[in-house]
A and B are shown apart, each in its own frame.
Chain A
Amino acid sequence: MSAPTYEQAVTAFEPVFGLETHVELGTRSKMFCGCSTEFGAEPNTHTCPVCLGLPGALPVANATAIEYTIRIGLALNCSIASWCRFARKNYFYPDMPKNFQISQYDEPLCSDGYLDVEVDGQSYRVGIERVHLEEDTGKNTHVGGATGRIHGADYSLVDFNRAGIPLVEIVTKPVPGAGPLAPAVARAYVSELRDILRALGVSDVKMEQGSLRCDVNTSLNPAGSSEWGTRTETKNVNSLRSVERAMRSEIIRQAEILSGGGRIKQETRHFQETTGTTRSGRSKEEATDYRYFPEPDLVPIAPAADWVAEIRAGLPELPAARRARLQAELALSSDELQQLANAGLVERFADTVAAGAPAGEARNWWLGYLAQQANSRELDSAADLAISPAQVARIIELIAAGTLSAALGRQVVDGVLETGQDADQVISERNLGLVSDTSALTEAARQAIADNPDVAEKVRGGKLPAVGVLVGSVMKATRGQADAATVRAILLTELGVAE
C-alpha cells in the first residue's frame, strides 16, 4: 500500500508528542572548569585537564550555570529542588573525555512545570517534566567514508572545545490532544521556548550553531483510543521548520506502518534535512544501561529559598506578558501582532520601537526587507539575522532625517549583514550617505544640463515635468546618494526657471 497523506494519517490516528530540548548556556566559562565557551575557536584550544578528562582532574560546578537553570525552571513554572545531585551517565564514546557524562538523573534541579503556546488563536498547555543541568560532549568529525558517520570513516577527529559547555535539558511531558496541529504546536513550543531563553539572557539560542537542539518524540494511537502507541525519538532536528517537518514525516511513516498492521519499533531516528524524512538510527531496545549513580566528585546543589526568591524577583518580563503589553501599548491589532508572532519577530519589533523607531516603520522593515533577507538565507526567522533592533532603528532614523533614502537604507542593511559592522560604519566605509554638499550637486546639475541641451531647452520653455530626466541623470552621477527633491530645486535654479 502507498503512504497515506498527512490528512489521512491524522484522521486515522491521534499523534502524541514530546520534546527534549538541549540548550547550551551562555556562561563565559564551562560547566566544570574555567575554560572559555566561545564558539568557533581553533579545535582543542579551549581545553584543560578537567574538560579533557585527564587522570586526576576534578570538576567544580559553575554557579552561574546553576542560576541560569533555575531561571529557566522558574520561567517554565517549575518547582525548584531544595536539594539535588549531579549523576554520572556512563557510556563509552570518543567525544566524551571521561566516558561518562555529568548529568542529573532522578533528582533534576527543576521539575513539573508548563508552557502555554498559541496556534491559530487556540492555546495549548505543554507540560514540562523536568529541566536539568549537564555538560556537553566534544565534537567528532569522521573523515572519509560516504556517510560522514563513524562507520566507514578513514579516521576521526575530536574537538573538545565543546566538551564541558553547560547544557540544559528541557523535557516535556507527553502532549496529546493537538490532533493535526501537533507539529505546529511542537514548533510553537520550541519557538516560544527560544524567545523565553533569549529574554532570560541565558543562551544565544542559535539553532544553526547547535546551541539549541531538539529531539522529537512521536507516537500515534488510533483515533478515539486513549492507549498510547510506541514512540520513536527523532534526533538532529536543528531548526523550527525541521521540528514541524520531522514530526509530520514521522506521523505519516508511522501511520503507514500501523495501517498495514505493522508495529512501530522503539528506536532513535535521524532527521535528514535534504529529504525531509527520518531514517533509522540505533535501536532503543538494545539500549545502553547508563549505570547512573550520584556524582561523588561534586557536592549536592542546595539552592537556598531566598536565593531562588531573589532569582524569581529578577526575572525579566517574559515574551507572553510582553506581547500582551506591547499589543496594548503599541496599539497593534491582534492580526498585526499575530503576523509578527508567527514570524518570530515580536521581540525584535518591540526592541526596535524601544530604540526609538516608529511602530509602522519598524513593522515594515522587519516583515518586509529583513524577512526577505532571512528567507534568501534560509533562516527560520528574520530574528536570526545578524542585525540588532538598535541598528534597524538607526537606519529608520537616518531615513527620516533625510541622510538615507529607502534604497540606501536597504544597502546599509546588506552591509551590516555582510560585515557585522554597525550602520554608521557601513555608511562611512561604503560612502552611502546622501550627497548634501550643494556645490557637488550644482556641479553635477550643470553637467546634466550640458549633456542634455534639448531637455534643458524644453524645461526652460515651460515643460517643467521634463526636468525629471535631468534629475535622473544627476542621481545616476551621484550613484543614488542625493536627495531627489534637492537635486530638482538646484536644477530649476540653474535653468532659471521658477516653479
Chain B
Amino acid sequence: MTELHQLSAADTAAAIAQGEASAVEVAHAHLDRIDRTDPAVGAFLHVDTEGALAAAAEIDRRRADGQPLGPLAGVPLAMKDVVVTHGVPTTSGSKILQGWIPPYDATITTRIKQAGLVMLGKTNMDEFAMGSSTENSAYQLTRNPWDLGRVPGGSSGGSSAAVAAFQAPLSIGTDTGGSIRQPAAVTGIVGHKPTYGAVSRYGLIAFSSSLDQAGPFGRTVLDTALLHQVMAGHDPCDATSIPQPGPDVVSAARQGARADLTGVRIGIVSQLTGASGGYQDGVLARFADAVALLRELGAEIVEVSCPHFDYALAAYYLIAPSECSSNLARFDAVRYGLRAGDDGQRSLEEVMSLTREQGFGAEVKRRIMIGTYALSSGYYDAYYGQAQKVRTLIAEDFRQAFTQTDVLISPTSPFVAFGIGERTADPMAMYVNDLCTLPASLAGTPAISVPCGLSDTEGPALPVGLQVMAPAMADDRCYRVGAAFEAAFTSRHGAVLDQIPDLGELAMAAAATKEGQR
C-alpha cells in the first residue's frame, strides 16, 4: 500500500477531504519521514513540529464542523527560509539573521495558512539565495536525494530536496536567476518561476528586487499548479504585484494531462542548445528526446534565435549584485539579528563592520562588493545602466520569438547535479548553472522545469529538466505543455521520480563510504 508521505498533494487533499486520513496523520507521516531521512538529506533548517500539528488539528476540526476546505487543505508544505514566517525562525540561510523570530508573515505565508496548508518547517538555501548548489548556506549542506554525494541545486536546494525525498509533497522556493528551476531539474521534480509580479514579494527577504519571484515545487505538474494557484494574486502590499488576476493554471495542467499539443507552436532557442559546447551530452540527449516526444504530441517545433540571450549572464551578474548591495545594507546590527563586538568600547561603525564581516559568507560579500562597485558614481552607466539595456533587449527577443511561437523550450540547466565541493572554488563554474534560466528571469517571464528523463553520462543516473518558457502572464502555457509532456513521458517510461534510489540504502552507502575513508 502507498504510504501517506508518498501521495501527491492532490491525492493527499482528497484523502483528507474524504476522511480516509486525518490531517494530523498526514502531518505525522511527513514529520516521521523527516526524522528518518533528514539526518542524511539536510533539507530543513527548522522543523516546526508543534506548529504543523496544530495547523493540521485545526483542519481536522474544520472538517469535523463541516466547514468547506480548500483544494490543498491539510497538505504539508516545506517553506524556503527566505520567506518570513511569524513566530518561526527565519534566517535566509545567513548567520546574520541567526535567532531572528519575525513579528509578521509574508503575504504568501498568510495565503498558504488561509488555504489550510500545513507548514512543516523552513528549508535550507544558499545564503540570501545566492548560489546554485545550496553549499553557500551558513548552516549546513543539503544533499541530493538521488546521490547524497551531490548537491540538490540552488538556491532553493532545501525545498527541492525535501520534495524529492518525499519529506513534503509541496514546497515553496524563490527564483532570482533560476533558483527554483535548476534545483527542480537536478532533483527530478517540477518547479515553476511565475511571471514577475504574479506572486507577492512582501515578506521575501530581498536578494534582487527586480528579479526575485517565489514559486511552487511539486512532484507533479498538477500539484505544482495547485500550489501556484494558492500563492498567486494581487497584493496591495507589493507595489510591483500585478493588479490583474492571473490565468487558471490548474485548469491548464488538467487540460495538458490529455497529452494533446495539436496546434501548439514550440520554439527551440538556438542560443540555449549548447551549440558552442559546455552542455553535458546526457542533458542534450534527453532534451532531444523531449523535442521528439513533444512533436509526437502534435506540437509544431520551430527553431528561434534570441541573440541577446548570450549576454544574459553578464547582465544578470551586474543587476543582481547591484540590487543586493543595497538590499543587504539593512543588516547592520542596530535593530535585529547578529551584533558582533559590541563591547561598549567600539564605535557604531566598528560594530556594524564587524557584524557584517562575521555575519555574511564569502559569496554574499563578493556580490555586495561587485554591486557596490557597479553602482559607484562614474561606473553606473557602464555597468548597471548597460545591463538594464541588455535586459530590455532580452525582453524584446522574447517578444519577437513569441510572435511565431506559443512557448519556448530549452534544457533547464546545462548540467545534471554535480558533486559537493566540485564547483565551490570557482564562482564562474557555479554561475554557468543558470545559463538557460537567466533570460526568463531578466525578462520577468514565466518558466517551468519538468523532469525529462535521466542521464548517466556523469556516473549514476541523474535527472534532467526540460524548461518551458511562456510570455508574461501566460503561466498557464507552461503548465499545459509541462503537463502534456509529463503525461506522455510517464505513460511511456514511468515517472522519473519512481527511479530515485531508496534513501535508506543511499544513507547506508554514504555512511559506508565515510567509514571506508577513515
Interface, chain A (partner B; CB < 8 A): 49, 52-61, 88, 90, 92, 94, 97-100, 150, 156, 158, 289-293, 296-299
- B236 close to A296 (CB less than 8 A): no
Which single residue of chain A is at the shortest CB-CB distance from B92?
Answer: A55
- B100 close to A55 (CB less than 8 A): yes
- B375 close to A56 (CB less than 8 A): no
- Which residues of chain B are within 8 angstroms of A298 by Cβ–Cβ distance? 239-240
Which single residue of chain B is at the shortest CB-CB distance from A153?
Answer: B348
- B332 close to A49 (CB less than 8 A): no
**Among A49, A290, A299, residue most surrounded by chain B Cβ atoms (within 10 Å):** A49
C-alpha spacing A59/B209, complex, angstroms: 12
- Which residues of chain B are within 8 angstroms of A54 by Cβ–Cβ distance? 84, 102-104, 335-336
Determine whether B384 belongs to the interface, using a CB cutoff of 8 Å to chain A.
yes
C-alpha spacing A29/B322, complex, angstroms: 31
Partner of B205, one of A55, A94, A296: A55
C-alpha spacing A289/B237, complex, angstroms: 30
User: Chain A's nearest CB lies how many Å from the CB of B431?
Assistant: 21
- B376 close to A293 (CB less than 8 A): no
A60-B239, A150-B348 known; A297+B330 contact, CB < 8 A? no
Determine whether B206 belongs to the interface, using a CB cutoff of 8 Å to chain A.
yes
C-alpha spacing A302/B113, complex, angstroms: 36
Determine whether B350 belongs to the interface, using a CB cutoff of 8 Å to chain A.
no
Determine whether B247 belongs to the interface, using a CB cutoff of 8 Å to chain A.
no
Determine whether B134 belongs to the interface, using a CB cutoff of 8 Å to chain A.
no
Within 8 A of A (CB), among B326-343: 326, 329-332, 334-336
- B332 close to A99 (CB less than 8 A): yes
- Which residues of chain A are within 8 angstroms of B92 by Cβ–Cβ distance? 55
Within 8 A of A (CB), among B77-118: 83-84, 90, 92, 97, 100, 102-104, 106
A sample of 8 inter-chain contacts (CB < 8 A) reads A59-B239, A97-B330, A97-B335, A99-B330, A291-B326, A293-B375, A298-B240, A299-B239
- Which residues of chain B are within 8 angstroms of A55 by Cβ–Cβ distance? 84, 90, 92, 97, 100, 102, 205-206, 330-331, 336
Total contacting residues, chain B, CB less than 8 A: 44
C-alpha spacing A100/B322, complex, angstroms: 13
Determine whether B201 belongs to the interface, using a CB cutoff of 8 Å to chain A.
yes
Partner of A49, one of B103, B326, B348, B349: B103
- Which residues of chain B are within 8 angstroms of A100 by Cβ–Cβ distance? 326, 329
Partner of B375, one of A60, A92, A97, A291: A291
- A58 close to B335 (CB less than 8 A): no
C-alpha spacing A56/B203, complex, angstroms: 4
**Among A56, A88, A289, A293, residue most surrounded by chain B Cβ atoms (within 10 Å):** A56
- A56 close to B206 (CB less than 8 A): yes
A289-B376, A291-B375 known; A156+B348 contact, CB < 8 A? yes
- B335 close to A297 (CB less than 8 A): no
User: Chain B's nearest CB lies how many Å from the CB of A242?
Assistant: 29
- B100 close to A297 (CB less than 8 A): no
Partner of A58, one of B239, B322, B349, B377: B239
- Which residues of chain B are within 8 angstroms of A290 by Cβ–Cβ distance? 377
- A56 close to B237 (CB less than 8 A): no
A52-B335, A158-B334 known; A297+B209 contact, CB < 8 A? yes
**Among B208, B236, B335, B384, residue most surrounded by chain A Cβ atoms (within 10 Å):** B335
- Which residues of chain B are within 8 angstroms of A59 by Cβ–Cβ distance? 239
Determine whether B323 belongs to the interface, using a CB cutoff of 8 Å to chain A.
yes
Partner of B237, one of A52, A58, A61: A58
Determine whether B352 belongs to the interface, using a CB cutoff of 8 Å to chain A.
yes
A56-B84, A57-B203 known; A92+B209 contact, CB < 8 A? no
- Which residues of chain A are within 8 angstroms of B210 by Cβ–Cβ distance? 296
List of 3 A-B pairs having minimum Cβ-Cβ separation, nearest first: A99-B329, A296-B209, A291-B375
- A56 close to B202 (CB less than 8 A): yes
C-alpha spacing A452/B268, complex, angstroms: 117
Partner of B238, one of A49, A53, A58, A292: A58
Partner of A90, one of B84, B97, B329, B334: B329
Determine whether B311 belongs to the interface, using a CB cutoff of 8 Å to chain A.
no
Within 8 A of A (CB), among B441-480: none
- Which residues of chain A are within 8 angstroms of B334 by Cβ–Cβ distance? 94, 158
Interface string of B35-74 (1 = CB under 8 A from A): 0000000000000000000000000000000000000000
Which single residue of chain A is at the shortest CB-CB distance from B334?
Answer: A94
- A289 close to B377 (CB less than 8 A): yes
C-alpha spacing A61/B237, complex, angstroms: 10
User: Chain A's nearest CB lies how many Å from the CB of B127?
Assistant: 13
User: Chain A's nearest CB lies how many Å from the CB of B95?
Assistant: 14
Determine whether B496 belongs to the interface, using a CB cutoff of 8 Å to chain A.
no
C-alpha spacing A92/B348, complex, angstroms: 11
Determine whether B372 belongs to the interface, using a CB cutoff of 8 Å to chain A.
yes
A57-B202, A289-B377 known; A296+B323 contact, CB < 8 A? yes
- A90 close to B326 (CB less than 8 A): yes
- Which residues of chain A are within 8 angstroms of B206 by Cβ–Cβ distance? 55-56, 297
C-alpha spacing A92/B351, complex, angstroms: 12
- A58 close to B202 (CB less than 8 A): yes
Determine whether B380 belongs to the interface, using a CB cutoff of 8 Å to chain A.
yes
- B329 close to A293 (CB less than 8 A): no
- B332 close to A92 (CB less than 8 A): yes
- Which residues of chain B are within 8 angstroms of A56 by Cβ–Cβ distance? 83-84, 102, 106, 202-206
- B335 close to A53 (CB less than 8 A): yes
C-alpha spacing A55/B206, complex, angstroms: 7
C-alpha spacing A311/B83, complex, angstroms: 41
- Which residues of chain A are within 8 angstroms of B325 by Cβ–Cβ distance? 90, 291
C-alpha spacing A61/B206, complex, angstroms: 18
Interface string of B228-260 (1 = CB under 8 A from A): 000000001111100000000000000000000
Interface string of B302-314 (1 = CB under 8 A from A): 0000000000000
- Which residues of chain B are within 8 angstroms of A52 by Cβ–Cβ distance? 335
- B239 close to A293 (CB less than 8 A): no
- Which residues of chain A are within 8 angstroms of B376 by Cβ–Cβ distance? 289, 291
- B330 close to A53 (CB less than 8 A): yes
Which single residue of chain B is at the shortest CB-CB distance from A48?
Answer: B104
- A61 close to B204 (CB less than 8 A): no
C-alpha spacing A156/B349, complex, angstroms: 13
Partner of B236, one of A57, A60, A88, A289: A60
Partner of B380, one of A60, A88, A293, A297: A293
- B332 close to A94 (CB less than 8 A): yes
- A293 close to B326 (CB less than 8 A): yes
C-alpha spacing A291/B379, complex, angstroms: 10
- Which residues of chain A are within 8 angstroms of B237 by Cβ–Cβ distance? 58, 60
- A92 close to B102 (CB less than 8 A): no
- Which residues of chain A are within 8 angstroms of B331 by Cβ–Cβ distance? 55
Within 8 A of A (CB), among B357-399: 372, 375-377, 380, 384
Which single residue of chain B is at the shortest CB-CB distance from A291?
Answer: B375
User: Chain B's nearest CB lies how many Å from the CB of A336?
Assistant: 52
C-alpha spacing A55/B331, complex, angstroms: 9
Partner of B104, one of A49, A60, A94: A49
C-alpha spacing A292/B325, complex, angstroms: 12
C-alpha spacing A298/B236, complex, angstroms: 12
User: Chain B's nearest CB lies how many Å from the CB of A206?
Assistant: 29
- A299 close to B240 (CB less than 8 A): yes
- Which residues of chain A are within 8 angstroms of B372 by Cβ–Cβ distance? 291
C-alpha spacing A458/B202, complex, angstroms: 91
C-alpha spacing A94/B226, complex, angstroms: 43
